Structure 1
Amino acid sequence: MSNEQAILKVGDWIKGTLLTGELIIGYVENLDNQGSAVKAKIVTSDNKTIEGRSLPLLNRQVNKIPDTHVKNKEQIQFLIDLALETGDQEWFLELTAKLNAMRELAEGVK
């Protein structure tokens, strides 16, 4: 098991390949007790019929997508849209707070 797979936790964004070959991107909803599998919400895939579904995956099928550091308003707005699409209220609130802080900072500079 690689380091990326060993440190998966709920909420992590992952990419991987299903046993049938489809590419997926999604996030971890649950981890099994043995640490060998995850349940992931599929956000996008080359198989459009599985988008939005939750699927069980083996840890060896997926890799964690590294965290990104948001640097501008457009990136935050894109991520807010993604948070809305995935129904992640906590992430949405975090991102809108960050966006509001950027706006306040910009207004203070004027």
Structure 2
Amino acid sequence: MNLNNDSILKTGDWVKGISMGGELVIGYVESFKIHDEIVKVNVITSDNKTTVGKTIHMLNKNVMKMPDSKVTNKEQIRFLIDVALSTGDEDWFNELSSQLNSMKQLVNSVK
């Protein structure tokens, strides 16, 4: 089963797939080795709760890149800020904080 559909994965991409133990996993790519076809995924959620928060090795063919989300409101951005903080992704946190501040400024300028 090739879930990846030959898409090119990058570090930081959000992915879902089936772990080597058969569990459904959602997380983000920490690193990968193209020649080994192994992807290191930081697990955010999984059928197997013991893997949540850990980095696991997955086969490239069992991983599919998730589509980029379209954030449309402040609550979604706040949730993603929490995810960025929990994953230690400072660049993403800064980007999301900037988006939230832009929304606040837009609302304040309309008042």
1:26 touches 1:41 (CA, 8 Å); kept in 2? yes
Counterpart CA distance in 2 for 1:86 and 1:50 is 15
Aligned pair 1:68/2:59, yes or no? no
Confirm whether residue 18 of structure 1 aligns to residue 19 of structure 2. yes
Kept after mapping to 1: 8 A contact 2:4/2:62: no
The aligned length equals 110
AA paired with 1:6?
S
AA aligned opposite 2:103: M
Q: What is the TM-score when the length of structure 2 is the normalising length?
A: 0.90
1:36-62 Cα distance to aligned partner (Å, 9 max, x none): 221111111111111111111111111
Rounded Cα–Cα distance in structure 2 between residues aligned with 1:55 and 1:15: 12
Q: Percent identity?
A: 52
Distance change >3 Å, CA 35–CA 67, structure 1 → 2: farther
Q: Distance in 2 between matches of 1:53 and 1:109?
A: 44
User: CA–CA distance in 2 between the matches of 1:53 and 1:2?
Assistant: 22
Structure 2 runs not aligned, ≥5 long: none
**Deviations 1:2-32 (Å, cap 9, x if unpaired)?**
7644311100000011132111111001111
Aligned to 1:52: 53
Cα distance between partner residues in 2 of 1:109 and 1:103:
10
Q: What's the RMSD between the two structures over aligned residues?
A: 1.6
**1 or 2 for the larger relative contact order (CA 8 Å, sep ≥6)?**
2
